[in-house]
Amino acid sequence: MAIVVYLMNSTMQLYFIDWADRHVPEARNLASSLTSVSVNVGIAMGSALGGFVTTNMELIDLSWSGGIVAVLAAALAFINYRLEGGSRSGTKEENGLRGQYEGSL
């Protein structure tokens, strides 16, 4: 689990910073701190749900409740992808890159 969080860390942080650049450019510092906040909130919510399920249900019920959480996370990721896909433009110039990455390879 820690390896997955470590591998997703830079991807999530870049997503938050890019989102802040598009919508609230002054909040880049806040956006860079949202990665650790979101990971910690996810761990807390998962621990609370797991504790609730093991206390009030049987241990086998953790599997289907974890599956439901995974399906909900995938649905939210898909919705976010569709919403972000509609607001992005297709050219580099419109995205503000204007040759920033030209010739870097």
- pLDDT bracket for residue 72 (50, 70, 90): very high
What is the value of pTM for the model shown? 0.61
Kindly tell me if the per-residue pLDDT of 16 is higher than 80. Answer: yes
| φ/ψ (deg, to 5) at 46 | -65, -40
Taking CA atoms, 105 is separated from 16, 93, 97, in Å, by: 26, 19, 16
Kindly tell me if the per-residue pLDDT of 91 is higher than 50. Answer: no
The CA-CA-CA angle for residues 20, 95, 38, to 5°, reads 25
CB of 62 within 8 A of CB of 54?
Answer: yes
Higher pLDDT, 92 or 28: 28
Kindly tell me if the per-residue pLDDT of 65 is higher than 70. Answer: yes
Residues sharing a CB contact under 8 Å with residue 22, sequence separation 6 or more, in sequence order:
87
The predicted pLDDT at position 98 comes to 47
Q: How far apart are CA 59 and CA 99, in angstroms?
A: 55
